[in-house]
Structure 1
Amino acid sequence: MTTANRQPEVTGVLSWFPLDLPLTQRVIALFVSKWIIGALRPLVQLKVPDLLSDGPRSAEEIAEATGTNADALFRVLRCTAAAGLLVEDSDGKFGLTPVAAGLGEGAPGGVRDMFLFASDPMMWRPYEDVLHTVRTGEPKFDQEFGMAFFDYLKQNPDSNTTFNRAMLQNRYPGSDRVLDSHDFSRYPRIADVGGGKGQFLAEVLKRHPGCTGVLCDQPQVVAEAAEVFEQAGVSDRVALAPTDFFESITPGCDAYLIKHTLHNWDDEKAAAILTRVREAIGDNPDARLFVIDMLLTEHGKWDIGKLVDVEMLIILGGRERDREEWNRIARAAGFEPSNDPAAGDLVLLEFRPV
């Protein structure tokens, strides 16, 4: 075969699916994702991974334990096993793989709550009409549910619980790399802005026993943070600061962390948050702003952040950013960059006040 008529290599996400399709039909492979998620979600809701933790079971045994239709259950089990998430043996029994074990309730390092959040109807329905967002630039979530995402959570306690449980499990591997590679000990008082229930701040304080912390978030959020700090053994070194970070942020800290928060907002609102941080820093030239978020790669390169960016666009009206975009909103708030991490992952961006 000559170079001229050789089939080009399939790369990216489409290369993950072992389907023998012509290149012009290869996009059909993406259908598989919907089928697998659709089959897996009810199994997680029924706690099938927990039932299988003691060993393989037949579809009939699982159906009896879960009060479900044996034939329908068998078919979603078979689908999930074909995708490699369960094991189906020659006797027709289904067992766990390490991946499925991570979907059990309370599994160490598991992602059950993250999966249930990501596959929840509130996160799926906006994708039924992404064209609305493409045409208007407005998040489809707002049109679909009649309000913004965080307002929806406030008005729907069950959805808010689903979200909060997922965020507690949201331990992206890049977080450990950030923690391992940065010494926060030179900042005696550290504020975590929009830090949720304080998981990241708790880990920072555990690693740096000479530091104290301030958790700055909405009143209803910080009200539930005490348990996190108690479990980490750092509750005596943390102050809880109920606040709206668009209005004000606790002053007088030596470092201000903002992790996985600014990507929830468009540039104008993100710059407004950073402006409140700059006001809180005041005239302390040694204070630092640390933004922990995705740093997008250059044009044309694979980057999971470029996929997450579409979720931000459709659900929240936020965005992931490249280095130029981060620098632009930081400068607008009175900061300049003071480090240069490699793009393509979760990174720590350091900024100094000017």
Structure 2
Amino acid sequence: MKEEAAVGAGRSEVRRLAEMSNLYTPWSLRTAVTLGLPDLIAEGPEGVLGIEELGERSGTDIDALRRLTRHLANLGLFEEVRPDGLRLTELGEALRSSHPAKMAHFLDQGDAFIRSNDAVIPAMADSIRTGGAAWESVFEKNLWESLAADQALSASFDRTMSQHADILGRRLAGTREWTEVGSVVDVGGGSGQLLANILREHAHLKGTVVDLPDTVGRAAEIFDAAGVSDRADVVGRSFFEPLPAGADAYLLVHVLHNWPTGEAAKILRGCAEATGATGKVLVVDQVVDLEGHPAPFVSTQRDLCMLLMVGGQERTAAEFEALGEEAGLRLVSVTSLGPDGNSLLEFESREQRSR
């Protein structure tokens, strides 16, 4: 009996490992999104679409499509409501392009940056051996060089970052940080979507987005659409150059995790020099050792992502504190921003605390 129990336990472990290592499931989701299946099904009469019509609308082989949708139904994304009729489940609804979580965008292999990002993951062993970015071993350039050399990839990257910024900007706009400041500089703020969301919710604020000239090229359009053009401006330069001085707060959202320690400290130091003795520096990133971390799996996954993509890293609270000390800043607080594990870290000048 003990031997039978041991065999049963072994089978359970093997099954769990098989599920963890199986690549067909994540690629089934990517294929469904890339072919537009969730949107097509949702657009059917009463949210139901027959497999043949789905095949016709998606331009796919009916037999192959049926095999894909069968697996997706087993995953709980689709349900069969009549012979060969499909409807999205609540889980499957999250794969629609209109869903606010934007999961469809982050899975769509028709997007140049998403496709390239996914192509890097099989080279993970290279990163673990070298400690450097796998992107370079796959594409023979680092990410930033690849973006500079490929306009389509760069535009795709900017769109992806804007999707992240839109989601996170709405959340940040709800924090109480902005009642304490009158001006903010979004350092490495891309095309300005995150800053636009914050300014739209706080009419007293003025803001500046700083990023490379090509990246901030769409900011004026985004500020105009958000109705904040009169309170927002743009500076097209690297954040390794001197930043506009004198703002009440300098914001770094998903910037520091892109860089190794030396460069990250230099970016923070630039913010410290610009804000002077009275302002604050606000950082949004994962804090991997945060007590009660709401998404530890996401945190460790993103840490690997940063390694593979750019040779960067997510950090512990102690590592952020050390970065701040090197930049002349003191870590004041760490606040969780919700279920995806992002945290808001507030730094102030060491001189300010000593007064």
Q: Which residue of the other structure, out of 180, 184, 191, is the alignment partner of 1:190?
A: 184
What does the per-residue CA deviation read over 1:38-67, in whole Å, with 9 as the maximum and x for residues that have no partner? 122222222222211232222221111222
1:352 aligns with 2:342: no
Residue 219 of structure 2 is aligned to residue 225 of structure 1: yes
The structural deviation recorded for 1:331 is: 1.1
Question: Normalised by the size of structure 2, how large is the TM-score?
Answer: 0.86
In the other structure, the counterpart of 2:174 is 180
Bigger shift: 306-315 or 85-94? 85-94
Q: What pairs up with 1:34-45 in 2 under 5 angstroms? A: 34-45=23-34
Aligned to 1:31: 21
In structure 2, distance between residues paired with 1:237 and 1:197: 16
Residue pair 1:50, 1:104 contacting (<8 A) in 2 also? yes
Counterpart secondary structure, 2:333: coil
Find the aligned partners of 2:18 and 2:171 in 1 and give their Cα distance: 36
> When the two structures are aligned, how many residues end up with a matched partner?
338
Report the alpha carbon displacement of residue 345 of structure 1 after superposing the two structures with TM: 2.3
Contact in 1 for aligned 2:165/2:193 (Cα 8 Å): no
Deviation at 1:131, TM superposition (A): 1.8
CA gap of 1:230–1:50, structure 2 versus 1, over 3 A, is same
Pairwise CA distance, 1:107: 4.1
CA deviation after TM superposition for structure 1 residue 176, in Å: 5.2
| Residue-by-residue CA offset, 1:306-343 (whole Å, 9 max, x unaligned) | 22100101111010001110011111111111224369
Superposition pairs for residues 1-354 of structure 1, below 5 Å?
A: 21-23=11-13, 26-32=16-22, 34-54=23-43, 55-116=47-108, 120-170=114-164, 178-281=172-275, 284-297=276-289, 302-341=296-335, 345-354=341-350
Q: Is the 8 A contact 1:174 1:345 kept in 2?
A: no
CA 1:91–1:306 in structure 2 vs 1: closer, same or farther (change >3 Å)?
Answer: same
After superposition, the Cα gap between the structure-2 partners of 1:105 and 1:299, relative to the gap in structure 1 and judged at 3 Å, is: closer
CA–CA distance in 2 between the matches of 1:316 and 1:68? 36
For 1:164 and 1:101, the matched residues in 2 are separated by 25
- For the 8 Å contact 2:169–2:197, the answer to whether it is kept is no
The alpha-carbon deviation at position 23 of structure 1 amounts to 2.4
Q: 1:300 to 1:234 in 2, by over 3 A?
A: closer
Q: Secondary structure at the match of 1:337?
A: strand
Distance of aligned partners of 1:159 and 1:37 in 2 relative to their CA distance in 1, 3 Å threshold: farther
Instruction: Give the conservation status (yes or no) of the 8 Å contact 1:110–1:169.
Output: yes
| Equivalent-residue separation in structure 2 for 1:140 and 1:233 (angstroms) | 41
Q: Equivalent residue of 1:23, what SS?
A: helix
CA 1:122/1:94 → structure 2, altered by over 3 Å: closer, same or farther? same
Name the CA shift for 1:80/1:164 in 2 (closer, same or farther; >3 Å).
Answer: farther
Once the two structures are superposed, residues 155-203 of structure 1 have per-residue CA deviations (whole angstroms, 9 ceiling, x without a partner) of: 2233333323322222697765544332313322110001112222112
Identity %: 30
Q: Distance in 1 between matches of 2:78 and 2:167?
A: 24
